[in-house]
Amino acid sequence: MAPWMLDLLVLPLFYSLLLLQYSPSTFAKFQPRYFPSSITHPKSQSLHTNNKLYKTKYFTQILDHFNYNPQSYQTFQQRYLVNDTFWGGPKINAPIFVYTGNEGNIEWFAQNTGFMYDIAPEFKALLVFIEHRYYGKSIPYEGNKKKAYKNSKTLGYLSSTQALADYATLIVDLKNNLTAIDSPVIVFGGSYGGMLAAWFRLKYPHVAIGALSSSSPILQFENITSQYSFNNIITQDFRSESENCYKVIKGSWKEIEETARTRRGLELLRKSFHICKNYISGDYLEGWLSTAFIYTAMTDYPTPSNFLAPMPAYPIKQMCKAIDSLKLGNNTFAKLYHAANIYYNYTGDVSCFDFLDDSDPHDLGGWQWQACTEMVMPTSGNNKESIFPASTYSFEGHAQYCEEAYSVKSRPTWITTEFGGHDITRVLKRFGSNIIFFNGLRDPWSGGGVLKSISKSIIAIVEKEGAHHVDLRFSTNEDPEWLRDVRNREISIMKSWISEYYQNIVDSDAH
């Protein structure tokens, strides 16, 4: 087992592409704990199934918002998606709902943020989904991804601060074009996109009147949140389902490591887990399994879903059912195999599991750079009770990896310097307004979220049954009562922001 685990936000696809270029010895040293091929599930949702949801547009964006050095005058094409079907238009100052894109293809996020579609008619809202620079089709350097991702010189423009400035620039320009200057804007986002939404409201209050920030771990920096919190929540998710399930998983790591020591053992593991015949190691297998547990905890939704992979409702329950099954006796590997199948092979059409699969259907690879530079989020600590082997987070390990991968120095304190985070209640009590922080307590990222309301208009909505940005998904007839309640609360809060805003316009016109 690698002595440290990399700390990733949602969808830490990232170690794949780079690491595979390393020599075997370097590779072993930087073995990612969270092996990424999980997300590259062959049955991941196709990006082209729902293309009737929006029109695709491009905007000429400035590469470097913060520099007047002529070398920085370059531009790139930024993609954004628009749905104007429900918009009431500028005459009535109908609102504009903007999704602040995360680390991936914006179409994927648009298709998974059904909440905005569900409420657009009621609000007569224009829907806009803006792609984050360096992801999807919003690639600087003439759209040439190879060039844009070449090294730290070309990747240097990939930062959250630049992304927020992109969003502000685009929104202001779009409102001008639509002659909708007075239409109120509300920003939406989940996970990293939710962090961006909250920060956008704080940095650009003149552009957005409010933010719905869902499952955004804005406090998962430095040591504001314990490094053990993330894995403790996963542990709790499985343990509260079944003590036996927790114990089997917890006990399995040692058995895997011991078995992996010999060639015969490795072949046994390959057979037990249906691993393809190209590569296997104990570390990879452990990474592959923990990835399944981590992402299943994140997406432990009450209805069937297809965000990271097709999954049944309450997948943790299903995994533990497989593990607790009496039919498998005390065969740990068979139990784990069946559990992993729920994450990796729910549709049943994977022929073997490929540890070398580094495909990236949602285009999340740029997160590796972001995690190396500013998104340094310590989540990998495991205490004695953890479902994973005990370990502590090492910033040194992280920094060393980033130095070797990109020749870049991590700045672990930059995010709190730029956006805050320390003593957030005290700070935001007298500064800032109109932010909803939603968190579901089954979500491992909820430990780094804002779980207590800060003021009358900076409101925490916490749902103990909820998982990662569950509120943003399309509503279904099977949604439980608590989920409807969460969404209704969000709707009524946003309505109050908008009516207050309209009142303010009337008041200022009267003067």
Report d(CA 400, CA 410) in Å as an integer: 9
| Residue 274 contacts ligand NAG per CB under 6 A | yes
Choosing from 443, 446, 469, 471, the catalytic residue is: 443
| Terminal-to-terminal C-alpha distance of the chain | 68
Among 92, 181, 352, 356, binds ligand NAG (CB under 6 A): 352
| Residue 330 contacts ligand NAG per CB under 6 A | yes
Choosing from 41, 132, 398, 468, the catalytic residue is: 468
191 catalytic residue (yes or no): yes
| Residue 178 contacts ligand NAG per CB under 6 A | no
The encoded tokens of residue 144 equal 């040439």
Report d(CA 473, CA 207) in Å as an integer: 25
The encoded tokens of residue 108 equal 């994927």
Q: Which segment (55-63, 234-242, 443-451, 469-477) binds ligand NAG by CB under 6 A?
A: 55-63
Among 10, 18, 126, 170, binds ligand NAG (CB under 6 A): 170
Angstrom distances, CA of residue 5 to CA of 246, 265, 285, 395: 20, 25, 14, 10
Among 15, 30, 59, 501, binds ligand NAG (CB under 6 A): 59
Q: What is the full DSSP assignment across 100-114? A: E--SS-HHHHHHT-H
Contact 72, 432 (CB under 8 A): no
| Residue 162 contacts ligand NAG per CB under 6 A | no
| Residue 206 contacts ligand NAG per CB under 6 A | no
Binding-residue total with ligand NAG (CB under 6 A):
25
Residue 59 backbone phi and psi in degrees, to 5: -130, 135
| Cα dihedral value 96, 165, 110, 189, nearest 10 | -80
| Residue 492 contacts ligand NAG per CB under 6 A | no
In terms of DSSP bridges, do strands 310-311 and 305-306 run parallel, antiparallel, or are they unpaired? Answer: antiparallel
Contact code string over 72-91 relative to ligand NAG, x by CB under 6 A: -----------xxx------
| Residue 117 contacts ligand NAG per CB under 6 A | yes
Choosing from 191, 215, 216, 290, the catalytic residue is: 191
324 catalytic residue (yes or no): no
Report d(CA 371, CA 364) in Å as an integer: 12
The residue (of 107 and 237) whose beta carbon lies closer to ligand NAG is: 107
443 catalytic residue (yes or no): yes
Query: Catalytic residue positions?
Result: 191, 443, 468
Contact positions vs ligand NAG (CB under 6 A): 52-55, 57, 59, 83-85, 117, 170, 173-174, 177, 223, 274, 329-330, 341, 345, 348, 350-353
